[in-house]
Amino acid sequence: MERIPDDPVARQEWLEAWANEQERHVDTKPLPRAQRLRMQARGTRHGLALKAWWYADQFLDRGLGTRGIATEPEHEVPDRVAYVPSAWHVLPRALHYLGAGEHDTFIDFGCGKGRIVHQAARRPFRRVIGVEISPLLGDAARAVVAAGRKRHRCRDVEIVVGDATRFEVPDDLTIAYLYDPFRGEILDAVLQNIIASVDRRPRPVRIIYVHPVEAGRVLGTGRFRLLTEQRGGLRDRRTGRAAIFESR
């Protein structure tokens, strides 16, 4: 292959000539009509589904402001993941599967702007806690809790701003929620904190792990078993899937 010119103008001309040459080598024979129609139908259904999801997300988020992606300085370190809100359908389906109720204490590790905390608080949980390292996102989560308080059935809702690795897991925790908020050593530390709480007060603790890219670390503790991997019911285009674990 000949050398690409260093001069910007000559380089642009070379690239255009190379692109034209590649086009001549591409088979431009049109696809069969039946195949074109099938592809168009799939694209139309996909586009309509995305549009419906976008409008539903906008409608459900009205007055809360939990949409969008946010990256704070606290997240720009290894093993921490930027904030992306969970899809609205994931938590209700997981809680329905678990049969969660008024005797459960729910904690969202890496709660971000508080969407999941708000959703959980609308159920008659004993307590709902959100843990978030970013003060900015923590303030947003507190605003969401305040805005939705009239719709909350749980009256004990708290946002804790701080490092999840240093958060002392309360001994009444029964359901933990993780939407891939951190990985590696941070995830290991949080899991050990949950295990320490279980050791202090033996009880079943379930973990809803959405987009479980490091599920092996959960199983690797030897203290959790996989209840189910919801590839269909909890599947989402962005989250991938949710795995549910239980302590043992």
Return the higher-pLDDT residue of 76 and 224.
Answer: 224
Residue 66 lies in a domain: no
Residue 132: strand pairing partners:
161
Are residues 164 and 52 part of one domain? no
Please report whether residue 187 resides in a domain: yes
Ramachandran assignment for 222, one of left (phi > 0), alpha (psi -120 to 50 degrees), beta (any other): left
- Residue range of the domain that includes 20: 9-60
Contact at 8 Å (CB) between 92 and 119? yes
If asked whether residues 142 and 225 sit together in one domain, one would say yes
DSSP code for 236: B
Closest CA to 108 of 65, 95, 97: 95
Which tens digit of pLDDT belongs to each residue from 168-218? Answer: 999 999 999 999 999 999 999 999 999 999 999 999 999 999 999 999 999
Residue 4 lies in a domain: no
pLDDT for 166: 96
Domain check: are 55 and 92 in the same one?
Answer: no
Do residues 19 and 129 share a domain? no
State the pLDDT at residue 237: 41
Residues 142 and 211 in one domain: yes
Q: Can you give the pLDDT at residue 231?
A: 43
179 & 233 share domain: yes
Average pLDDT of the residues in 70-84? 74
Helix (H, G, I), strand (E, B) or coil at 244: strand
**Which CATH number goes with the domain that contains 176?**
3.40.50.150
CA distances from 123 to 103, 115, 156, 189, 197 (A): 11, 14, 11, 29, 24
Amino acid at 115: R
Same domain, yes or no: 16 and 81: no
Instruction: Specify whether 182 is located in the same domain as 79.
Output: yes
**What average pLDDT does range 121-144 have in this prediction?**
96
Number of domains in the chain: 2
Does 193 share its domain with 219?
yes
Of residues 18 and 164, which shows the higher confidence score?
164
Instruction: Using the predicted structure, report yes or no on whether residue 8 has a pLDDT greater than 70.
Output: no
Return d(Cα 143, Cα 160) in angstroms, integer. Answer: 13
Q: 27 or 168, which is more confident?
A: 168
Percentage of the chain lying above the pLDDT 70 cut: 70
Q: How many CB atoms lie within 10 A of CB 170?
A: 13
67 occurs within a structural domain: no
46 and 98 assigned to the same domain? no
Evaluate whether 217 touches 71 at the Cβ level (below 8 Å). no
